[in-house]
Structures are given as structure tokens and as C-alpha cells.
Structure 1
Amino acid sequence: MIGRAVIWWREERRARIRRRPVGGIPRRGPAPGLLEATAPFVRAVYAKEMLEALRDRRTLLVMILLPAVVVPLATLGIPYLEQRQQRGFQTATPAVAIVGQDDGLLRLARATRLILPVRAADPLRALRERRVLAVVRLPSGMEAVIARDGQVRVGIQYDASDSESTAARGKVVELIAKYSREIVARRLQVRHLNPADLLPVLVDERSVATQRQLSGLLLAGILPFFIAMLAVVGGMAVAVDLAAGEKERGTLESLLVAPPRREAIVLGKFLAVLTASMGAVIIVVLSLMLSLRWGYPYLLTSAGTLDISLPLGTAAVLLGVALLFAALVSGVQLAVSIYARSPREAQQYVTPLYFMIVLPAMAVQFISELAGRGWVYLLPVLNTFFAFRELLLGTVNWGHLLLTSVSCALYAAVVLKIAIALFSREAVIFRT
């Protein structure tokens, strides 16, 4: 591709010479503009860099394997293991040491099988050694106090650092609550009162949220994070290799003496980084949507009725905003790679960028009260994630979306201009 571009440049140069004025009379035919003259070189550089990037296994790993494999594991595997653990806690009957005596409570424990009451000579030692998962201390004379319509206080000891012990504590609380309701029911029966008299007002609550809104809430919590992560990681290896990597290999000098202008070289490299970044973003969106649509509903809902969907129009606008965001990130990564002396130094500069972008993506859902303020949509990075949230929740404000798009495009143009300026300075290119 570079060879064909060089041949085109030579032919164009001869054509310009033929169009020079002869005897004061200019030849007909307009001279090609800067964009027209630069475009073939941009395409040539882009094709060369993309071909080299696709030959690199790291690029394929980050662009395809990472979003296609890791995302389903993160969104389905972790919730599955957590739900499996919770089901195990619910079906298990934990051993609980009982200190004191209350026949009614022990009878209910055996009937409900919520816990397995045991006796221990040293209950606290048994708890530390995990021979029991909780200790229940009943006050002396508990049955007599309850018979006199009195009130007693039961002590529970458990290990808060142990999930099984915490689950056992929950079952003990549930058992004592059942026992208290039985006692209250007997007392009311003796007084010929109805238990309903204790709750004169009942609450009947219903959610008016649609399936679309529920799925949007779920997507808004995780999709911006994955887009942010893959927008950075997807183009990181390519950006580091295209500038800092060529410096280390000594291949940048041969490219600098070629006919393409510095702007064309930087634009071609920028488009290669942007392609890698957007490729990873598109794959992660598709992978996440398929994982959530087919697997997540049956993990989180008993009936599997949650409809995980993203309308085509919303998806198109989402990817459009993601493209502008990826352009900004790609420009920053390329500028850093051009400035760095080596790939190792470039990696050190780019790594903090990952956290500077991913952390706002995680924080957006906790500062949602800022979503209605227009100035937020002028802030780089943060504006993109607020726009994502509005799109996914179905509360799109087109003014906010316009501010986000225009500001992202301007920031990307500024960063790209900086990258071109750095690439045009010999002191930066050849510094060691």
C-alpha cells in the first residue's frame, strides 16, 4: 500500500509540473486540495498499521477474546456462583450451640429445621473452631417470664467475617421471630383478640416500571463500565506499538522520509488505534447483550421474565457516542505513545489513563443527581457516561446528547492536533 501511494505521489507531482504556466498562460485543471492529496497516504498508512496489528496476537486477544469470553464470565459466572452459595445457605441446617433452656423454642427449631440445636461445653471455642456456626444464649427462667406475659432478651453470637456464620445468624433471627409470633398469637387468643387488630393498616405496593425500564436500569449499571474498560484496553497495545514500538525497533525513520506528510502518518495511525478500540467496544456490547438476554434473567428472577433488550435506534446512538469517546481515548493514547521514549515508558503513561476513565464510569450511578445539570455534559469522560445512562434508562435529553457529542468531538480534535504537533517535532521523535 505504501508503494502504491508513492507511485501515486510521483505521478501527481509530474501532473503538477505539466500544469505549470507556460509563457504566462496557466494550464487548465485545478490543483488537488490538501485533503485530496493526503487521503491516499492516510489510507496506505492505515492499511499497513491495521495489517501489522492484526498479525499481533495481543491485538486479537484484546479485541476479540477478552470481550467475548471475560464479559460473559463476569456477568454470568459470578452471579451464578453467588446465587449457588445463597441457595446452599438456604437449604443447609447450621449447627447452633444453645446455652440455656426453653422447650418451646427447641421444639420449634426441630420442627422448622432452620437450625440444628446442639450443646457445647465451651460454646465460644466451638464457634471459633467452626464446630458450630452460632451461639444462642437464652436467659435463665425464660419460660416462666414468657408465661407471665413478660419480655426476654436472647443473645446471639456469630462470626461476622464468615459468610456461613452470618447466614446461620439470619436463620436464628428468623426462628426467634417465628417463636415470638406464636407467643403473641397465644396471648391474643387468651384475651379473645384478633391478630389482625395489631396491624390495622396493610401496605399493597406495586412497581409501575416496565420491563424496558428494568432492563435499562440493569444495563446502565454495567454496560458503561465495560465500554470504558474496552475503549482503553482495546486500543492500548496498538497505540503503544505504533509509535513507541517503532521508535524502539528503529522503523520510524524510514516512514518519516517517505512522501506522506506528518499529518497523514498520524491520521493513519490514529484510525488504526480507533479501529482496534471500537472493535473491542462493539464486541463487548454484543457479548454483554447476548449474555444478559439469554442467561441473566434466569439467574436473577425466578420466572425468568426480565426482558433484556436494547432498541436498534438506542444502540445506534449509543455506538455513535462511544465512537466519539473512543476517538478521544485513542488520540490521548497515540499522543502519549509518540511522546514516550519506549513502549515501557508509554505503558507507564497509559496505565493511569485506564483508572482515570474506568473510575468515573463506576461513579456515575452514585452521583446521578448531577444528571440534570448541563455543565456536566461538557466535562470530558464524565459526560459520555451520563449520556450512556440517559440512553439506557430511556430518559434521553437531546440537548445533553448534543453537548456530549460536540464536546467529545472537539476534545478529540484537540488531542489529535497535539499528537500531530508532537510527531512533527524532531526533538520528540528522536529523543532518548
Structure 2
Amino acid sequence: MMPQFLVVMKKELVEAIRDKRTLNMLLMFVFMYPAMVGFMLHMQIKRGTSTEKVGIDMVVVGAAQAPNLVNYLTQKNVNVTPKESMSEADIAKLLSEKKTAAVLKLGEKFSEYYEDLRPAPLELWFDSSVEKASQRRELETMLREYGNGIAGARLLAHGVSPATLSPLALQRYDTADSTTRSNTRIGMFLGMFFVPACIFGLAAAIDSTAGERERRSLEVLISQPMRAFDLVAGKWLAASALAAIGLAFELGVAHAVLKYLPLEEIGLSWRVDIPMLLLVIATAIPLCLMIGALQVAMAMNSRTFKEAQATAGIVTFIPMLPVFIVPALDLTTKDWMYAVPLLGNQTMFQAMATGQSLGVMPYLLACALPLVLAFAAVAFATRRMSSEKYVLGV
């Protein structure tokens, strides 16, 4: 005979699958994050493998004073549009049209200062609100290189080696191989895929508790010869199962997308195999159990369906905070990170993707606290379910 909590779990899963809202949300988040990451990487590959480099559009005011500079920029694939004169208002209007990366304005005494070996005045006008920052930085690099070339030629003309200005020759060596670098970057992407686990079972957890209580169908269930623990455990396991199933499918879709993309074109690689992916999913099961238990407990502690949505939504958002805050602080990996729910799963996967040997302790830390919180939340929900005041809404 099937245990009673499994009967309740089966009933809740069937109702959740029949609910189009729950099913649509599950399917949306399963494909949304992998599609976003795949699109971003696809655009990087497209830019990296493009055979034609798109020229940079630039207006040069007073270009007749520096023909060599204009020729240099043209050779660097800069589309130079010469102008004799432009006011500040005209420059601002031109840049606001977002068609030109920058405007280079030569001072009136540019040629005079240049011939006297004095710093020739240049003005680089740009609009920082326009998404052409990379082109502007490239233009600044070109101008800096052009100026260094002129300085070197002048030193040679005076019998001084340009090497005098560079007493140090710094060479940089990165000991990380391409696989480690690429897996670190992709591991950060995939670590964010644990976040939707907080959303997959949310609708089912709220509807099976606050929703049934509001519809008065919970009274029928509680009147059956069944322990309160079995009733709560069935609802808890149903919400957790939806979270685990959604997470497994999402990681599977992400694995297929990253495996399909030609990441080698941009110096990346995806060498995570199926056993490693299954291990990641297995270590995330305690996280799903914790999320389902907290959502059921918070929904049961609410008086109405709308209040349950707000309360459970806030509780669901709390585990996401370390995932965003810790990477922003640029902290080195510590043992305590594995014990933090959601952050521990992200940290563990990044370590696995970079080929680090974790040992047993990180897995224990990643599973311990979520399981403790899950059982505590289930105990609280069981106590609430045992109360007639809760069931009757008194």
C-alpha cells in the first residue's frame, strides 16, 4: 500500500501539471535562461569570427592641418569625415544622433604648435550615454600610438633612442590554460541557473496551501484519517519535486546549448560531461527540498492567497542575495560559502568546472544547512496544519 504522504504528493503533482499557469511558468524558466546565455555567447562568437571589421565613424574638425593623422586613422579602418569648423552645439547635436563614435577637433594653432615641437591641442568630443564606449577607447588608443610614434621619430632626429623613455619591459604570463579560463567564465553563467529553482515550485506550494484553505477544500483533506505530517509532507515533496524537475531540465537544456555552440572560436570550451552534470543536480536536491519547505511553511502562515504570494515571494528572494552580492565583492572561495544555500551550489559547480578536487566536506556543507532548514520548516508547517484555528481560518 502506498504511504499516505506519497498519495498527497501524487495528487498535488497531477493538479500542478493540469494548471496551465504552473506548467507555463515551468517551461518558460526551463528555456529562458539557457536561451539568454546561448544568445549572448552566440553574439560574442559572431563578433569574434567576423571576417570584416566594421569601421569606426569619426568626424575630424580641421583635418587639413594634420593630413598624416587623417591617413593614419584611415589605415586603421576609421571612416573619417572632415569638417572645416563646428560649434559646440553642432558637435553635441551630431553626437546625439548616435551615428558617430566621436568628434576630433584640432585646435586653431595645431599646425603651429606641431611645427614648434610643442604639444599640439586636440579635443575629443563624445557622448558617454551612447553605447560606443569600445569604439571610443579604440580611438584613444590609436591617438596615443600615433603620438608615441611621433615622439620616437623626434628623439631619433636628435640622436636619442626612443628606448630611453621605456626603462622597463614588462612581459605578462598567464599560467591558466584555456580550458580553466573558459570553464571559469561559463561556470559563472551556469551558476545563475540555480536561481529559477526558487520559482519552479512556488505556484504549486501556494495553491496547495493558502489556495486550498481559501477555497475550503483543505477542510475535506484534514477530515480524512491522515496525520498532519503526511498531508504537509506530500505538499512539501510535490513543490520540491517541481523545483528539482525544473532545475534538471534547465541544466540539461543549458548543457545542450553550450555543447552545440562553437565556443572554440572565441577561445572557450565546454567539457562538462553528463556524470558531472548529474552530480551537480544531485547536490542541488537538498536545496530544492529547502525551498519547497520554506514556501509551503510561509504560504501556510498567511491568511489569504495574495498574502501568501507576497510572503513566499520575499522568502524565495532571500537565498538569491548572496549569489549576486558575493561575486560583486570579488571574494576568494572560502569553506563557509559552501554552507550558504544556493551560493554553495554555485561555488561548487564553478570549482568542479575548473577541475578542482573538492573532497567530501564541500558536499556535506552544501547539503547540511538546506536539509536542517527544510525539516525545521516542515515541522512548523505540521504544527500549523494540526491547528483547527488555521484550517478553519479563525
TM normalised by structure 1 equals 0.79
Q: Which residue of 2 aligns with 1:273?
A: 239
Q: Which residue of 1 aligns with 2:186?
A: 219
Give the percent of matched residue pairs that are identical in Structure 1 and Structure 2. 20
| Unmatched 5+ stretches in structure 1 | 1-7, 9-38
Alignment CA distance shift 1:117-1:315 (3 Å): same
Alignment-mate amino acid for residue 320 of structure 2:
V
Alignment-mate amino acid for residue 391 of structure 2:
I
- State the secondary structure of the residue aligned to 1:371: coil
Alignment CA distance shift 1:384-1:66 (3 Å): closer
How large is the RMSD of aligned CA atoms in angstroms?
3.0
For 1:44 and 1:287, how far apart are their aligned partners in 2? 31
For 2:278 and 2:167, how far apart are their aligned partners in 1? 52
For 1:89 and 1:238, how far apart are their aligned partners in 2? 51
For 1:161 and 1:85, how far apart are their aligned partners in 2? 22
Q: Which residue of 1 aligns with 2:21?
A: 58
Alpha-carbon deviation of 1:346? 1.0
CA contact (8 A) 1:127 1:134 kept: no
CA contact (8 A) 1:215 1:309 kept: no
Q: Which residue of 1 aligns with 2:104?
A: 136
For 2:310 and 2:291, how far apart are their aligned partners in 1? 16
Alpha-carbon deviation of 1:79? 4.7
Q: Which residue of 2 aligns with 1:12?
A: none
1:94 aligns with 2:57: yes
For 1:80 and 1:197, how far apart are their aligned partners in 2? 45
Alpha-carbon deviation of 1:287? 1.5
Alignment CA distance shift 1:246-1:313 (3 Å): same
1:284 aligns with 2:247: no
- State the secondary structure of the residue aligned to 2:61: strand
- State the secondary structure of the residue aligned to 2:279: helix
- State the secondary structure of the residue aligned to 1:94: strand
1:205 aligns with 2:154: no
Alignment-mate amino acid for residue 44 of structure 1:
V
For 1:388 and 1:98, how far apart are their aligned partners in 2? 54
Count residues in correspondence: 387
1:295 aligns with 2:261: yes
CA-to-aligned-CA distance 1:237-294 (integer Å, 9 cap, x gap): 1101111111122211111111221111111111111110001111111112222222
Match of 2:305 among 339, 343, 351: 343
For 2:124 and 2:52, how far apart are their aligned partners in 1? 18
Alpha-carbon deviation of 1:188? 4.2
Q: Which residue of 2 aligns with 1:176?
A: 143
CA contact (8 A) 1:244 1:341 kept: yes
CA contact (8 A) 2:194 2:346 kept: no
1:45 aligns with 2:8: yes
- State the secondary structure of the residue aligned to 1:116: strand
Alpha-carbon deviation of 1:96? 1.2
1:161 aligns with 2:129: yes
Alignment CA distance shift 1:105-1:219 (3 Å): closer
Q: Which residue of 2 aligns with 1:104?
A: 68
Alpha-carbon deviation of 1:98? 1.1
For 1:339 and 1:96, how far apart are their aligned partners in 2? 65
- State the secondary structure of the residue aligned to 2:303: coil
CA contact (8 A) 1:334 1:419 kept: yes
CA-to-aligned-CA distance 1:174-225 (integer Å, 9 cap, x gap): 4423432431343244245665565565444343323442243123312222
CA contact (8 A) 2:61 2:103 kept: yes
Alignment-mate amino acid for residue 210 of structure 1:
D
CA contact (8 A) 2:44 2:266 kept: no
Alignment CA distance shift 1:354-1:412 (3 Å): closer
Bigger relative contact order (CA 8 A; separation at least 6): 2
Match of 2:363 among 401, 405, 412: 401
- State the secondary structure of the residue aligned to 2:232: helix
Alpha-carbon deviation of 1:382? 4.2
Alpha-carbon deviation of 1:304? 4.7
Alignment-mate amino acid for residue 409 of structure 1:
L
1:236 aligns with 2:199: no
Which residues of 2 match residues 62-77 of structure 1 at below 5 A?
62-68=25-31, 70-77=32-39
TM normalised by structure 2 equals 0.86
Is the radius of gyration larger for structure 1 or structure 2? 1
CA contact (8 A) 1:62 1:280 kept: no
For 1:167 and 1:42, how far apart are their aligned partners in 2? 58
For 1:330 and 1:296, how far apart are their aligned partners in 2? 37
1:253 aligns with 2:234: no
Alignment CA distance shift 1:95-1:380 (3 Å): closer
| Unmatched 5+ stretches in structure 2 | none
For 1:81 and 1:387, how far apart are their aligned partners in 2? 28
Alignment-mate amino acid for residue 181 of structure 2:
L
For 2:84 and 2:46, how far apart are their aligned partners in 1? 31
For 1:215 and 1:143, how far apart are their aligned partners in 2? 49
Alpha-carbon deviation of 1:236? 0.5
Alpha-carbon deviation of 1:352? 1.4
Alignment CA distance shift 1:96-1:155 (3 Å): same
For 2:183 and 2:73, how far apart are their aligned partners in 1? 43
Q: Which residue of 1 aligns with 2:282?
A: 320
Q: Which residue of 2 aligns with 1:365?
A: 327
Alpha-carbon deviation of 1:120? 5.8
Alignment CA distance shift 1:425-1:324 (3 Å): same
CA-to-aligned-CA distance 1:79-114 (integer Å, 9 cap, x gap): 545777897996134141414732332333344441
For 1:124 and 1:353, how far apart are their aligned partners in 2? 53
For 1:269 and 1:76, how far apart are their aligned partners in 2? 35
